[in-house]
Structure 1
């Protein structure tokens, strides 16, 4: 059985016929179908298109939670900060943790405090090393 099928079987074994599990399988198939260099950033908009939804809903949020969970760990979560000039900056997890504790984010370039930083954050996902290994092996 190809490794991608092993991963899909694990999702099905743990989550059964839950609607979110079916979305997980679609997302895994999508990521596995792309060349590795094309899978660098998956946003909720991308994921909605992949699973045929107009907007994120509870099932998609659950699917993403399943895919980032330690049991499946097919995706890693990252955060993008888009400043007032529309410049994009990936935020380090420690900086995000500090912002949540203090209520302000230090702008990664200017050093200025951003008090309404949450309005400028965009979560995105990348294949975990586990899924990247599966994709790489499939495309070799």
Structure 2
């Protein structure tokens, strides 16, 4: 049995009654086939395609959430702030929490407060260290 099969068995055990089980397994297979250099900025669109979906659906979002936010922990969530000039800045979750508390986000370069910042925050995903330990080489 390959290492990735061990992770898939864990997912099957944890989510055997979930309608998201097959979606999670499809995402794991997709990740397992990707070269490491192509795993650095995965988006919901990446996973949509991995699942054979034409549109981004709640099904895709929920499957990614399961893989990122449960004991399976195959994915780490990262954030980007994209300003009006399409400059991208990595954002820590604590920075987002602080901006939400204050009601504005301070632009990392200009220092200007931005009130409608939520629409400029883009989530992306990277494989977790845990996933990488299971990944077939």
TM range (shorter): over 0.9
CA distance in 2, matches of 1:17, 1:94: 34
Deviations 1:80-138 (A, max 9, x none): 11100011111111111101111111111211111100111111111001012222xx2
Q: 2:4 — aligned with what? A: 4
- 2:72 paired with 1:72: yes
Deviations 1:29-80 (A, max 9, x none): 1111111121101111111111111222222122112101231000011111
Bigger shift: residues 98-107 or 16-25? 16-25
CA distance in 1, matches of 2:100, 2:21: 31
Tell me which stretches of 4 or more aligned residues in structure 1 moved more than 6 Å: none
CA distance in 1, matches of 2:111, 2:46: 31
Number of residues paired by the alignment? 137
* Structural mapping, 1:31-46, within 5 Å: 31-46=31-46
Q: 1:56 — aligned with what? A: 56
Q: 2:125 — aligned with what? A: 125
Contact 1:36 1:132 in 2 (8 A): no
Q: Secondary structure at the match of 1:78?
A: strand
Bigger shift: residues 54-63 or 44-53? 54-63
> TM-score scaled by structure 1?
0.91
Over the aligned positions, Cα root-mean-square deviation in angstroms equals 1.3
Q: 1:104 — aligned with what? A: 104
Structure 1: gaps spanning 5 or more residues: none
Structure 2: gaps spanning 5 or more residues: none
Deviations 1:1-48 (A, max 9, x none): 211111111111111153311111111111111111211011111111
